[in-house]
């Protein structure tokens, strides 16, 4: 069965956020609030993508992906804050932040394509084929 590229990437990113959180809880417990925020927003991206994939309408699909995009932007903010306050290293930041930026680009592209497809009268299930990878 083919899987959605954005679903796979956002799930992988969520796992990275969990690992980062676990590491920071061992090393930097005093920054609990910051690390909890990046965990929440970073794992929320994939949850909203999964909701979008089950949407009954194009409008609902775009709404859920727009929420995922907002969460990705928020995650980018928290990651920059963690880097600039020297809670995470530049090396860790560069890798994780690049992945976050990739999610932002993909989400923007899917939302834009969905809007165009809606104008053409394509349904969410027709749009779904654009999100699939090869088996």
Tell me the per-residue pLDDT of 100-117, one tens digit each, with 9 for 90 and over.
Answer: 999 999 999 999 999 888
Q: 88 in the Ramachandran plot: left (φ > 0), alpha (ψ -120 to 50) or beta? A: beta
Looking up residue 91, the CATH number of its domain turns out to be 1.20.1440.60
Supply the pLDDT for residue 124: 56
80 lies in some domain: yes
49 near 118, Cβ under 8 Å?
no
Supply the pLDDT for residue 131: 57
23 lies in some domain: yes
- The parent domain of residue 89 ranges over 5-115
130 lies in some domain: no
Axis crossing angle, helix 5-27 with helix 32-53, rounded to the nearest 10: 170
Is pLDDT of 51 > 90?
Answer: yes
Query: What tokens were used for 11?
Result: 């799930």
124 lies in some domain: no
131 lies in some domain: no
Supply the pLDDT for residue 130: 47
Query: In the chain, how many domains are there?
Result: 1
49 lies in some domain: yes
Tell me the per-residue pLDDT of 2-44, one tens digit each, with 9 for 90 and over.
Answer: 689 999 999 999 999 999 999 999 887 778 888 999 999 999 9
Whole-angstrom Cα Rg for the chain:
16
127 near 114, Cβ under 8 Å?
yes
127 lies in some domain: no
Nearest to 34 by CA among 22, 47, 45, 21: 21
Query: Tokens 């592209």 correspond to what residue?
Result: 109
Supply the pLDDT for residue 31: 80
Supply the pLDDT for residue 95: 96
75 lies in some domain: yes
């Amino acid at each position: 069965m083919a899987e959605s590229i954005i679903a796979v990437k956002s799930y992988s990113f969520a796992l990275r956020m969990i690992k980062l959180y676990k590491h920071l809880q061992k090393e930097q417990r005093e920054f609990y609030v910051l690390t909890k925020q990046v965990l929440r927003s970073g794992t929320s991206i994939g949850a909203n993508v999964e909701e979008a994939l089950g949407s009954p309408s194009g409008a609902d699909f775009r709404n859920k992906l727009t929420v995922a995009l907002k969460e990705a932007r928020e995650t980018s903010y928290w990651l920059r804050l963690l880097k600039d306050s020297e809670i995470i290293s530049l090396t860790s930041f560069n890798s994780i932040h690049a992945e976050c930026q990739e999610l932002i680009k993909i989400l923007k592209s899917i939302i834009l394509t969905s809007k165009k497809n809606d104008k053409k009268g394509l349904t969410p299930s027709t749009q779904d084929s654009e999100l699939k990878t090869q088996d």
